[in-house]
Amino acid sequence: MTEPLALSLTKICRSFGPVQVLHDVDITLAAGEVHALIGENGAGKSTTMKIMSGYLAPTSGAVALNDAPVSFANSQDAEAQGVVLIHQEFNLAEQLSVEQNIFLGHEKKRGFLLDKAAMQAEARALLARLNCQVDPSARVSDIANADKQMVEIAKALSRNARVLIMDEPTAVLTEREAEVLFVQVERLKAEGVAILFTSHKLDEVKRISDQITILRDGHVVSQGPTSDYNEDQMAEAMVGRDVSSLYPERTVPIGSDIALEVKGLSVAGFAHDISFTLKKGEILGVSGLIGSGRTETMEGLVGLRSTTGEVRLNGEVVHLKSPQQAQKAGMCYLTEDRKSRGLLLTKGMRENLTLQCLPDFTNVLIDQKSEDAALTKAIEDFDIRAPSRDVAVGNLSGGNQQKLLIAKVMLADPDIVIIDEPTRGIDIGTKQQIYEFIHALSGQGKSIIVISSEMQEVIGLADRVLVMRMGRIAGEVSGAELTEDKIVRLAMGLDVNKEEAA
Amino acid sequence: MATADTNPKPTMRLDLKVMGPILALVVLVVIGALMNGNFLSAGNITNVLSRSAFIGIIAVGMTFVITAGGLDLSVGSMAAFIAGLMILVMNGLLPVMGVGWPLVFVGMLTAIVAGTAAGFINGFLITNMRIEAFIVTLGTMGIYRSLVTWLADGGTLSLDFGMRAIIRPIYFDGILGISWPIIVFALVAILGEVVMRRGAFGRHAAAVGSNDQVARYSSVNVNRVRMMTYVGLGVLVGIATIMYVPRLGSASSSTGVLWELEAIAAVIIGGTMLKGGFGRVWGTVIGVLILSLIGNILNLTDGVSPYLNGAVQGVIIILAVILQRDKKAEG
């Protein structure tokens, strides 16, 4: 590794048209230091990172590398000078191999031909340096998310990155995968790389960062060594109000009638012999590692995948072959993947909101007045904040997209809602609002299944938690037993006193 | 988080995208009028519109197919095959039913049924068998073209002379001086525009073309929507053929050649996105008119050879797409 590099922003302002999104932002990334940039969605984190890495130019203010002012022409220019941004959504060519991806755009050549041997060797060395086991010739579409993240980092290192900027690197990783990443972050730090990352998980910010910068509405509201903050202080600075009571208390008792009963449900290749019940007004958490079959089970339940087994709704056996049938029967699934499965990013809020129940708004022709009325109500009920009503949904912040997605599904007025990762990639203020929506729904007697990778979330939200492991239910925890430790042991298959799932 | 790569003047771009095709049409009309006095005569306009009606009716259906993320290359051959079939059926039943309107109606029914079936076959292979639309319709394009050649034994299928006289008015007559093909084209276009803009089907088609996974997760029956776009197109090809057969009273292996490309080109010139997700039927109508006006102007004027028709059309198509490029769309 060549000389260490420090990147600093001084009095950076940035406007999009008339809207100023950054106000006098000062941040210094020192070599060999991990800097966390936190803030709510829309606080200006992405813009800041894009300015650091040459994707955007500041409207005013100075960017400096080792105290020498620079202005990056574009992201390639920034990369050439050692500053690399790793996007939250991976920028990998899924059909190419790991090695081809690492060298994409700057392939090693011998004469006119590719020097495959050299690239193989270097890819192997880079991955070894990251302690990553993945085979350089494996196709990227076949490897796990954590490995993709490592490939992104290897790609950055192959470009001799000395300032590494990571946009929510752990958002798509399980806790165990995140651990692997943190070890590598420590290693890079020791090698003198300056690292900046964003995260909504304050515990990991506390653990791995040395410095913190907190943004709110484009202003730096707090900055300093991580040791000066605890998680509550970070959250308060981000939101600007007290958020210590993140999870609402249950106010309405759980009903006694069984709304859903699943017996021996199997989804070929993903889930085997899943059985559970769900009462009216109950919030059931589903936990387990990514890949444990949680999502596939629920997709099977609503007819998105073919299944075998018995499903009873309000005591009656149903055979749901499609989401349309499930919706008619009063059961809806809210996907974890809002960008590619939940919302039409190029369409407006109105079209998205009513897509699920368009027939309800159609009387030969679509009744746009009642659609507009529904949107007005949804914006009010779910506190959706959009610059204008006809904005393309892709330009909304993640939190507002998620609120719109919930509004869309709730328009179908289901009795049972399955919410997969309700708060992935969402800031803490919006999280709190979403938890309140979920509790309000359960208060109305609706039954809710919440799938989540965040332990705190399932524990805080759910009345009872099913833990899945390798396509089976590993156990069920509730009441005083509902602890992180218990869930982790079940999810990892460690629990010796495992109760047999009924 | 998706930050808006804000466009400094989104309204200006939008205007150009909406107005572009209309402006191009106006410019063409002005050029045509300046170059030849006959251009704006009722006779010439009726001629241009009637001839463009076949492609136009098909292009309206094509708009839905493309909006839903599909493509249909088979429509030209399909039209030729249906025309051949229609003629064969009418000629075959002539001894039984005799010359007259009942036989014409049987012929029309044949065309509609054959169009529906052909659309269904395309749709079935694409949705249920999950084969790429390009491949399926490339295949059926070859099949129909070869079938009509075989039916005609390499030559021409001609409708019985007596029947021709009866059927002729379908192309050449009309109401109040407006010919039937123009009337049918107008009705199809209006209906198509309303369905696209205000119908649940149009909205669903755009949703499927925009992101079929989102549509599926939103309880939209994706396969049925796709299927219906192909069946609808098949029916419209049948209707176009009903309008076409009376014109010449015959069908051969050269009937409907390159219609598919003209229809697709008209759709794209009109501002529908080739990758799907957004479509507008009125734009397609303008696209059809632009394409047929180019041919007409080149025929009426001496300056440029009519043989360059294809070249001029090609330039217009490429220009249209360049003007309508959406910079905001993420690559």
Name the minimum distance, in Å, from the CA of A497 to any CA of chain B: 39
Phi, psi values for residue B55, rounded to 5°: -60, -40
Q: Do residue B4 and residue A16 have CB atoms under 8 angstroms apart? A: yes
Answer yes or no: do A365 and B194 touch at CB < 8 A: yes
ipTM of the complex in this document: 0.83
Distance CA B194, CA A167 (A): 44
Averaged confidence pLDDT in chain A? 86
A326-373 residue pLDDT tens? 999 999 999 988 888 999 998 999 999 999 999 999 888 999 999 999
The CATH class of the A7-239 domain is: alpha beta
- The per-residue DSSP string of A70-90 comes to E--SSHHHHHHTTEEEE-SS-
B194 touches chain A (CB under 8 A): yes
What radius of gyration do chain A's Cα atoms show?
A: 24
Q: Which residues from B are below 8 Å from A341, CB to CB?
A: 211, 213-214, 216-217
- Express each pLDDT in A302-334 by its tens digit: 999 999 999 999 989 999 999 999 999 999 999
- pLDDT at residue B1 in the model: 38
Least confident of A234-243, A291-300, B145-154, B232-241: A234-243
Q: How far apart are CA B83 and CA B90, in angstroms?
A: 11
User: B300: closest CA among B47, B22, B25, B26?
Assistant: B47
| Residue B286, token pair as written in the block | 């303008």
Say whether B262 sits in a helix, a strand or coil: helix
Cβ A470 vs Cβ A293: under 8 Å: yes
Instruction: Check CB contact under 8 Å for A398 and B8.
Output: no
> Coil, helix or strand for A24?
strand
**b/e for A151-178, b at 16 or more Cβ within 10 A?**
bbbbbbbbbebbbbbbbbbbbbbbbebb
Distance from C-alpha of B112 to C-alpha of B242, rounded to nearest angstrom: 8
CB of B269 closer than 8 Å to CB of B294: no
Question: Which one-letter DSSP state was computed for residue A476?
Answer: E
Q: Nearest CA of chain A to the CA of B331: how many Å?
A: 12
Cα–Cα dist B74/B237, whole Å: 10
Contacts of residue A229, Cβ cutoff 8 Å, sequence gap at least 6: A206, A212, A222, A237
What is residue A445's three-state secondary structure? coil
Q: A238: which 2 tokens? A: 């981000």
Q: Report the C-alpha gap between A216 and A280 in whole angstroms.
A: 40
Q: Which of residues 424-453 of A touch B (CB under 8 A)?
A: 425
B224 touches chain A (CB under 8 A): no
Measure CB to CB from residue A343 to each of B199, B200, B214 and give the nearest one: B214
With bands split at pLDDT 50, 70 and 90, how would you rate the model's confidence at A244? low
Q: Which residue has the higher pLDDT, A75 or A42?
A: A75
Pairing, β A163-166 against β A194-198: parallel
C-alpha closest to that of B273 among B87, B75, B17: B17
Which residues of chain A have a CB within 8 Å of the CB of B191?
none
| Assigned fold of A245-330+415-421+447-494 | Rossmann fold (3.40.50)
Question: In the prediction, which pLDDT does A235 show?
Answer: 81
| pLDDT value at A245 more than 90 | no
Contacts of B328 in chain A (CB under 8 A): 392
Report the percentage of chain A scoring pLDDT > 70.
96
Which residues of chain B are modeled with pLDDT < 50? Answer: 1-13, 327-331
- Which comes out higher in pLDDT, residue A500 or B45? B45
pLDDT of B14: 53
B9/A contact by beta carbon, under 8 A: no
Matching residue, tokens 């590993």:
A474
Cβ separation of B210 and A41 shorter than 8 Å?
Answer: no
Nearest to A351 among B194, B203, B221 (CB): B203
Residue of A nearest to B205 (CA): A355
Q: What is the pLDDT of residue B3?
A: 40
Q: What is the pLDDT of residue A501?
A: 44
Q: CB–CB of A356 and B219 under 8 A?
A: yes
Query: Strand runs (DSSP E) across chain B, as ranges?
Result: 156-158, 174-175, 178-179, 250-252
Among chain B residues, CA nearest to A15: B6
Nearest Cβ partner for A16 among B6, B206, B277: B6
Smallest CA–CA distance from A45 into chain B, residue: B1
3-state SS assignment for residue A211: strand
* DSSP H stretches of helix in A330-426: 349-355, 368-381, 398-410
State the DSSP code for A338.
I
Length of chain B: 331
Residue A290's identity, in one-letter code, is I
Distance from CA of B330 to the nearest CA of A (A): 10
Counting Cα atoms < 13 Å in the Cβ hemisphere of A453 gives 21
Whether A395 sits inside 8 A of B1 (CB atoms) is no
Q: A-contacting residues of B 275-294, CB under 8 Å? A: 277-278
Confidence label for A3 from pLDDT (cuts 50, 70 and 90): low
Closest-CA distance, A110 to chain B, in angstroms, reads: 31
Which among B65, B29, B47 has a CA at the least distance from the CA of B234?
Answer: B65
Instruction: Please tell me which residue of chain B has the smallest CA distance to A409.
Output: B218
The verdict on A158 touching B (C-beta cutoff 8 Å) is: no
Tell me if A107 sits within 8 A of A188, measured CB to CB: no
Query: Residue B273 carries which DSSP code?
Result: -
Question: Does B1 reach chain A within 8 Å, measured CB to CB?
Answer: yes
Distance (Å, rounded) from C-alpha B227 to C-alpha B207?
14
Q: Does B14 touch chain A (CB under 8 A)?
A: no
pLDDT at A102 (0 to 100)? 87
Of the partner residues B198, B213, B328, the one whose CB lies closest to the CB of residue A365: B198
One-letter identity of residue B63: T
Cite the residue boundaries of each domain of chain A with CATH code 3.40.50.300: 7-239, 245-330+415-421+447-494
Residues on chain B touching A397 (C-beta within 8 angstroms): 1-2
A345–chain B nearest CA distance, Å: 9
Confirm or reject contact between A333 and chain B (CB < 8 A). Answer: yes
pLDDT digits (tens, 9 = 90+) for A461-487: 999 999 998 889 988 998 888 888 888
- Using the Cβ of A385 and the Cβ atoms of chain B, whether some distance falls under 8 Å is answered with no
Give CA–CA dist A468/A483, Å, rounded.
Answer: 15
* CA B284-B287-B292 angle, 5° bins: 130
Q: What is the pLDDT of residues A432-453, one digit of tens each?
A: 889 999 999 999 999 999 998 8
Q: Which residues of B touch A302 (CB under 8 A)?
A: none
Contact A358 B204 (CB under 8 A): yes
Whether residues B194 and A346 touch (CB distance < 8 A) is answered with: no
Cβ pairs bridging A and B (under 8 Å) = 98
